[in-house]
Amino acid sequence: MIIGTVLGGFLCLGVLGLLGSSLAATHRLIYAGCLVLAATATGDGLFHMIRYGQEAVPAVVLPFGLPWLKAHFRLDSLSAFFLVAVNFPAALASLFGIAYGSHVPEPRRVTPLFPLFLFAMNGVLVADDAFVFLVSWEAMSLSSWLLVLSNHTDAAARRAGLVYLVMAVFGTFCLLSAFGLLAGPTGAFDFAAMRVAKLSPLATSLVVLLAILGTGSKAGLVPLHAWLPLAHPAAPSHVSALMSGVMTKVAIYGLIRLLYDLRGAVGWEWGFLMMVLGAAAAALGVLYALMQRDLKTLLAYSTVENVGIIFIALGLAIAFRDHGEVALSALSMVAALYHVVNHALFKSLLFLGSGAVMMATGERDLDRLGGLLNRMPVTGVCFLVGACAISALPPLNGFVSEWLVFQSLFKGPTVAHWAMRFGVPVVGVAMALAAAFAATCFVRAFGVAFLGRPRSDAARAAREVPWPMLAAMAVPAVFCLCLGVFPVMVTTGIATVVEPLVHVVLPAAVLGWPWLSPVSLTAGSYSATMVLLSGAGLMITTLLLVRHLGTRAIRRAPVWDCGHQEDIANAQYSADSFSQPLRRVFGQVVFRAREEVEMPPPGSTAPARFTLFITDPLWTGLYLGLQRVIDAIADRVNHLQFQTVRRYLLMMFLTLVLLLLVVAVRQQ
């Protein structure tokens, strides 16, 4: 089994990194190895999807793990699909790392853990019993936690690590209990047994709730997202790319595995809940992103948004399935998985781009960048493609998946229940807002970072990054275009993955090339290929027209700017000023955003200062609130440490008497 050897390889690389990380060459070697292995795994996944289709490779049992259970591994089409979605970006990140890996603050804290991180993620995908699944799951959190702590001298990174690991373990506990319920008191922890397990309705609901909590906390679903914007940016960029673009997908995989494979029938209410949570995540996530000045934090928040979109689609799938609309259910699953692939692609592309920017300028703050497009053309173009894709602009891939999600969302009211009928439009509003905000957010990100005039010397002195990094960004950019232009192939591919989950395959006729018309021929269709072709045609026409009707003369001149002509780069619109209108409208409500302008008295030469305060209500309310409670209790309990021996004896005495009373009462 190829994937097995790949896993072994990752492990060996990790050990090699632990041993030989003192040599500079080792780092490059390890990243190269990761590249090869990840590429192999991608190939294996693709091959499996094409060759086997639905039927799974029989489970492999290895003699470790729980003694009476052993470790089960299995590769079915779902795992194979996620193998591709995980390992392709992983390969890119490794390629990026070959050049970037030695530029992180302390490479020795990063390189050995990188392959282990990949190992853990792949382990989750091929696990076929709860123990292996959770061990890999935890290993994933653990390795990424250490990666977040790789620049451990930064207090913010340490705080991020703490929040991250605690949240991760919270999620693990939720999954643990869910699996416990599925396995039953006898402890049948292998998935095969869980599929046939009989559960009471209450238990089923508990499993679903715990699964949503557990995987949601990993995927960054609001309100469990608080760790994500802290942790993802703290890691080195090629790791952030994996955490944001890939690890969240592993969480999605866990959810699908639990709710669609292990639990066949789930009530539509849960679908509705997921939909609403997803909508909240989508809208809030991108709003947060709009307010950020730190490029990587911005990207992390936009991950929250995209996870929200995926959750919307998954929730719809559940609701449809519960109401017997299997075709629509399949459609929304396809939409969800399509978005999984897309987000994995462009989010890793964007994070790698931010890494390139950091390497070139050492800056993450948008307001200290600017004008990079001229100095870093390739990075700029790739980043632009990524920005367009994530803003769902045709003909790129982001649009296709969002189009599919919208299509299935517009069919939501076919589920004849008032909650769905009135809920779906609201969710629609949220998602539409999210889409529009995303465009604004990335106009802001790209425009401020790459266009205009440089806002700092670092930005002024930026140089293009070495070729492996460029290649690592160019490849996904190309794929963003391909997946956007030939969507039908992708959807047919995904349909085979979805079929065993919803027991219906999208009819091929409806998906006939090149028209992507999922529901029915009349219900609305999209043909990226034709759009692109006619667009190209119109472009040529335009060029010819302009060429023949007009001159081609061009003069370079100082910027006009209505004659103002100030040259200070800081007179440009900054990131904060760009988001000011939206901040005025939404920020003050959602984030209690406060702006303070202090003007120097007339005549003084002191500069005027503008300071912006943004608070995350969920963070201050939920998390800090929890912390306060724990502190209060800890203070109370702490008194126990400072008693006299007599008091301690008293405690013993009371315990004894209490227990004796219990016995006395029981024996009467």
Partner 1 sequence: MTGFLSSLLPVGPADPLFWVLGLPLAGALVMALLPDWRHAAWLNVLVSAATFGAAACLVFVRPVETPLLFIDDFNIYLVGLTAFVGFSTAMFSAAYIGRESRIRRLAPRNLRFYHSMYQAFLFTMLLALTANNIGVLWGAGEAATLTTVLMVSLYRTREAIEAAWKYFILCSVGIGLALFGTVLVYLAAQPVMGDGVAAMAWSQMIRRAGAFQPELISLAFVFLLVGYGTKVGLAPLHAWLPDAHAEGPTPISAVLSGLLLNVALYALLRFKMLIAANGHALQPGPLMIGMGCSSIFVASFMLYRRGDIKRLFAYSSIEHMGIITFAFGMGGALANFAGLLHMTMHSLVKSAIFFAVGMITQATGTKRIADIRGLTARAPLLGWCFVVAVLAIAGLPPMGIFMSEFLVISSTFARDALLAVPVMIGLLITFGALIWRLQGMAFGPPGQWVPDSERTHQSALVRAVGMAPLVIHLILALIAGIYLPDALVAWFQAVGKLLG
Partner 2 sequence: MTSADQIVALGHVSYDMAHLIGAVILMMSFGLLYQRRLTAVIRLYSFQAMVLALAAAWQAFVQDAPHLYASALIALLFKGIAVPFALNWLVRRLGIHRTVETALGIGPTMIAGVGLVALSIVLVLPVTASAAAMTRENLALAMSVVLLGLLMMITRRNAVTQVVGFMSLENGLILAAVGARGMPLVVEISIAFSVLVAMALFGIFFFRIRERFDSLDIAYLETFRGERR
Partner 3 sequence: MTAFFFGLLHTVLVLAVAPLLTGLVRLPKARLQGRQGAPAIQPYRDLWRLLQKESVIADSASWLFRIAPYLVFVSVWLAATIMPTFTTDMIMTPAADLIALVALLGTARFFTALAGLDTGTPFGGLGSSREMFVASIGEPAMLMVIFSLSLLTHTTSPANMIAYVTGGHIGIEVSAGLALVAMVMVAIAENGRIPIDNPATHLELTMIHEAMVLEYSGRHLALMEAAAMVRLLLFMSIISSLFFPWGMAFVDDGVAGVALGLLAWLAKVSALAMVLGFFESLVAKMRVFRIADFLGGALLLALLATIFLYVSEAV
Q: Least CB distance from residue 256 to partner 3, whole Å? A: 26
Q: Which is nearer to partner 3, 553 or 637 (CB)?
A: 553
Q: What is the C-alpha to C-alpha distance for residues 602 and 153, in angstroms, rounded to an integer?
A: 43
- Based on the shown chain and the rule CB under 8 A, indicate whether residue 656 belongs to the binding site for partner 3: no
196 or 665: whose CB is closer to partner 2? 665
Given candidates 421, 463, 609, 647, which one binds partner 2 under the rule CB under 8 A?
Answer: 647
Q: If contact means CB under 5 to 8 A according to the sort of partner, which of partner 3, partner 1, partner 2, none does residue 642 touch?
A: partner 2
Contacts of 87 (CB under 8 A, 6+ apart): 38, 39, 41, 42, 45, 118, 122
Which residue in 46, 60, 66, 378 binds partner 1 (CB under 8 A)? 66
Which tokens go with 352? 């790698």
Binding of partner 3 at residue 562 (CB under 8 A)? yes
Query: Applying CB under 8 A, does 118 fall inside the site for partner 1?
Result: no
- 167-226: contacts with partner 1 (CB under 8 A): 169-170, 173, 176-177, 179-181, 183-185, 187, 189, 206
Angle among Cα 509, 513, 515 to the nearest 5 degrees reads 85
By CB under 8 A, residue 664 contacts partner 2: yes
Which residue in the set 17, 89, 216, 371 belongs to the binding site for partner 3 (CB under 8 A)?
371
145-162: b (≥16 Cβ within 10 Å) or e: bbbbbbbeeeeebeebbb
Q: Are 207 and 270 in contact (CB under 8 A)?
A: no
> Which among 383, 365, 398 has a CA at the least distance from the CA of 470?
383
Q: CB nearer to partner 1: give 187 or 428.
A: 187
| Identity of the residue, 573 or 648, whose beta carbon is nearer to partner 3 in the bound complex | 573
Q: Is 134 in the site for partner 1 (CB under 8 A)?
A: yes
Residue 134, binding choice from partner 1, partner 2, partner 3, none, Cβ under 5 to 8 Å by partner class: partner 1
Q: Which residue has the tokens 């209990």?
A: 177
Taking the least distance from each CB to partner 1, the nearer of 176 and 378 is: 176
For residue 555, the minimal CB distance to partner 3 (Å) is 5
663 forms part of the interface with partner 2 (CB under 8 A): yes
Considering the complex, state which of residue 199 and residue 569 has its C-beta at the smaller distance from partner 3. 569
Q: Binding partner of residue 64 among partner 1, partner 2, partner 3, none, CB under 5 to 8 Å per kind?
A: partner 1
Our finding on whether 540 is near partner 1 (CB under 8 A) is no
> Rounded CA gap, 521 and 125, in Å?
36
Select the span of 76-84, 135-143, 291-299, 304-312 touching partner 1 (CB under 8 A).
135-143
Rounded CA separation 360/99 (Å):
12
Coil, strand, or helix at residue 612? strand
If DSSP states are collapsed to H, E and C, what string results for 334-383?
A: HHHHHHHHHHHHHHHHHHHHHHHHHHHHCCCEHHHCCCHHHHCHHHHHHH
Measured from the CB of residue 638, what is the shortest distance to partner 2 in angstroms?
Answer: 8
Least Å distance between CB 629 and partner 1? Answer: 10
Closer residue to partner 1 (CB): 77 or 143: 143
From CA 361, how far away is CA 367, in angstroms rounded? 12
Q: What one-letter code names the amino acid at 241?
A: A
DSSP code, position 592: -
CB 278 within 8 A of CB 309: yes
Residue with tokens 């990335």: 442
Report the residue from 1, 8, 64, 615 that binds partner 1 according to the rule CB under 8 A.
64
Look at the alpha carbons of 228, 232, 233, 235 in this order and tell me if their dihedral is positive or negative.
Answer: positive
Which one, 147 or 350, has the nearer CB to partner 3? Answer: 350
Could you say which residues in the range 606-645 bind partner 2, by CB under 8 A?
641-645
Check if the beta carbon of residue 473 is closer than 8 Å to that of residue 587: no
597 touching partner 3, by CB under 8 A: no
Q: Which stretch binds partner 1 (CB under 8 A): 166-174, 233-241, 548-556, 575-583?
A: 166-174
User: By rule CB under 8 A, what count of residues binds partner 3?
Assistant: 81
Identify which of residues 25 and 155 has a Cβ nearer to partner 1 in the complex.
155
555 lines the binding site for partner 3 (CB under 8 A): yes
With 0-12 / 13-18 / 19 or more C-beta atoms within 10 angstroms meaning exposed / middle / buried, residue 227 is buried
66 binds partner 3 (CB under 8 A): no
Q: Does 535 bind partner 3 (CB under 8 A)?
A: yes
List the single partner that 662 binds among partner 1, partner 3, partner 2, none, CB under 5 to 8 Å by kind. partner 1
By CB under 8 A, residue 655 contacts partner 2: no
Binding segment for partner 3 (CB under 8 A), chosen from 19-27, 95-103, 460-468, 580-588, is: 580-588
Structure tokens at 445: 């990100």
Near partner 3 by CB under 8 A: residue from 82, 399, 486, 591: 399
Least distance CB 315 / partner 1 (angstroms): 24
Dihedral angle of Cα 355, 361, 363, 365, to the nearest 10 degrees? -100
Beta bridge mates, 516: 526
**Which window, 245-253, 546-554, 620-628, 653-661, contacts partner 3 (CB under 8 A)?**
546-554
Helices (H), 369-450: 372-375, 377-390, 397-410, 418-450
- Residue 551 makes CB contacts below 8 A (sequence gap 6+) with none
Determine, following the binding rule CB under 8 A, whether residue 554 of this chain makes contact with partner 3: yes
Listed in sequence order, the residues at least 6 apart from 494 whose beta carbon sits closer than 8 Å to its beta carbon are 81, 333, 334, 337, 338
Hey, which residues does 62 pair with through a beta bridge?
Answer: 71
630 binds, among partner 3, partner 2, partner 1, none (CB under 5 to 8 A by kind): partner 1
Least distance from C-beta 568 to partner 3, angstroms? Answer: 10
| Shortest Å, Cβ 166 to partner 2 | 25
Q: Tell me the pairing of strands 594-598 and 609-613.
A: antiparallel
> In 35-118, which ranges are E strands?
57-62, 71-75
Report if residue 657 touches partner 2, rule: CB under 8 A: yes
CA angle 241, 122, 19 (to 5 degrees): 80
Report the DSSP beta bridge partners of residue 526.
516
Q: Which is nearer to partner 3, 111 or 517 (CB)?
A: 517
Cα–Cα distance between 150 and 67 in angstroms, integer? 35
In the complex with partner 3, the residue whose CB is nearer, 147 or 448, is 448
User: Which 3 state secondary structure label does DSSP give 517?
Assistant: coil
Q: Which residues bind partner 1 (CB under 8 A)?
A: 63-68, 130-131, 134-135, 138-139, 142, 149, 152-153, 155, 158, 161-162, 165-166, 169-170, 173, 176-177, 179-181, 183-185, 187, 189, 206, 630-631, 633-638, 640-641, 643, 645, 648-649, 651-652, 655-656, 659-660, 662-663, 666-667
Q: Which residues bind partner 2 (CB under 8 A)?
A: 641-647, 649-650, 652-653, 656-657, 660-661, 663-664, 667-668
